[in-house]
Amino acid sequence: MAEFKHFPVMLKEVLEALNCRKGKVYIDATLGGGGYSEAILEQIQPEGKLLSFDVDEEAIDYCKQRLNKYKNITIIKDSHVNIERHLRLLNTDEITGGVVYDFGASFHQLTSESRGFSFQKEAMLDMRFDKEADFSAYDIVNKYREENLVKIFSEYGEERFSKRIAKGIVQARKKKSIKTTKELVDIILGSTPRVKSKIHPATKVFQAIRIEVNGELENIKKSLVNIMPYLGDGAIIVTVTFHSLEDRIVKNFFKENSAKFPGGNLEIHTRKPITATDEEIKVNPASRSAKLRYAQVIKREI
Ligand SMILES: C[S@@+](CC[C@H](N)C(=O)[O-])C[C@H]1O[C@@H](n2cnc3c(N)ncnc32)[C@H](O)[C@@H]1O
């Protein structure tokens, strides 16, 4: 099997929150390396059902092999935003168990030589989770107006030098199009003052471009809205987010749908998000910024 590295973040905490029950229907909205899916499958045997989604064919191919001994998983190459369509196709009326979302990119994607997610590796500007999508980092860097670049760098990257970097990009691309991660990094380095910081000057711009390429933030909200009508009484929604922009969307969605308000049917179990233990952070430093929230659908009157 080809190597696919990803350490499932807060796996124990995710499973505790999801509280998998035998025979129920579960969704893993972001399959990745299949860490959560495999753990869920182990708990719902023999009659439970798991539908796992990813848009990345490398994740799909890897998991088809990794999970091939399990009969009750359906692996679907599509966005979790389209869950509804697949539930219909599979004659599944209700998600009786719950859904887990592990937002963002996998370690495999971030460190892959060729996918263009990393500012440390020279590659074509790409950053698509879905290699069939027709819009990539190249389009943003070479075609967005300067003010739109400023907007995404500021909003999605919280980059303090957004204006200077956007200006640097627009000047550079007048001479020739910007094709590689290295060219973009050089422009960022050339447009920003040297400041002492633990993070590389390109970190935030790369994050912002990745979020924009994949429509990550709007997909979170869309997917939660789309899946709600299919969640049965007692079903659980678990989310793992990696930065405050994602976390805020989930937090607000849970609040807006809280059973405390008329029409709402979510009982929120995490007033404050759960974070990774020190032991996990030591082994997997990326888990440092992860936040887990979960809520349960309550359809009976409370
Ligand atoms: C952090 S990884 C998930 C890791 C997984 N929980 C595990 O244990 O291996 C996130 C995955 O979500 C996928 N993804 C991102 N946006 C998606 C979308 N809209 N629909 C489905 N999958 C998506 C990415 O391609 C990536 O493989």
Concatenating the DSSP letter of every residue in 42-59 gives HHHTTT-EEEEEES-HHH
Decide: 290 and 275 in contact? Cβ < 8 Å. yes
Instruction: Indicate whether 50 and 185 sit together in one domain.
Output: no
Nearest to 99 by CA among 81, 114, 113: 81
Q: What is the pLDDT of residue 301?
A: 60
pLDDT by residue (tens digit) across 116-137? 999 999 999 999 999 999 999 9
- Note whether 231 and 104 are same-domain residues: yes
What number does the ligand 1 atom closest to the CA of 242 have? Answer: 1
> Are 17 and 102 within one domain?
yes
Rounded to an integer, the average pLDDT of 103-115 is 91
Tokens of 230: 């299919």
Average pLDDT, the chain: 95
Same domain, 140 and 166: yes
Asked if residue 50 is part of any domain, the answer here is yes
What pLDDT is recorded for position 1?
A: 56
In the 3-class helix/strand/coil scheme, how is 230-278 assigned residue by residue?
Answer: HECCCCEEEEEECCHHHHHHHHHHHHHCECCCCCCCEEECCCCCECCCH
Q: Say if ligand 1 is within 6 A of residue 129 CB.
A: yes
Which of the listed residues 197, 213, 229 is the one where a domain comes to its end?
213
* pLDDT-wise least confident of 26-40, 58-72, 190-204: 190-204
Q: In this structure, is residue 266 part of a structural domain?
A: yes
Tens of pLDDT along 56-88? 999 999 999 999 999 999 999 999 999 999 999
Q: What is the CATH number of the domain that holds 180?
A: 1.10.150.170
Are 206 and 278 in a shared domain? no
Which domain, by its residues, includes 198? 134-213
CA of 174 to the centre of ligand 1 (A): 36
Q: How far is the CA of 129 from the centre of ligand 1 (A)?
A: 8
pLDDT of residue 197: 83
- Regarding the beta carbon of 79 and ligand 1, being less than 6 Å apart is answered yes
Residue 50 CB coordination number (10 Å): 25
Q: State which of 189, 213, 237 marks the end of a domain.
A: 213
How far apart (Å, rounded) are the C-alpha atoms in residues 15 and 98?
11
Is residue 5 assigned to a domain? no
Q: Is 295 helix (H, G, I), strand (E, B) or coil?
A: strand
CATH of residue 21's domain is 3.40.50.150
Q: How many domains does the chain have?
A: 2
Is 128 a member of any domain? no
Rounded CA gap, 257 and 249, in Å? 12
Is 65 contained in some domain? yes
Same domain, 220 and 209: no
Same domain, 146 and 81: no
Residues 23 and 156 in one domain: no
Query: Residue 5 pLDDT > 90, yes or no?
Result: no
Is residue 88 included in any domain, yes or no? yes
Helix H or strand E encompassing 122:
none
- In this structure, the residue with its CA closest to atom 3 of ligand 1 is 32
- Residue 106 Cα to ligand 1 midpoint, Å, equals 7
Same domain, 31 and 69: yes
Helix axis angle, 162-175 to 181-191, nearest 10°: 130
The pTM assigned to this predicted structure is: 0.95
Using the 3D structure, point to which of 186, 213, 240 is the last residue of a domain: 213
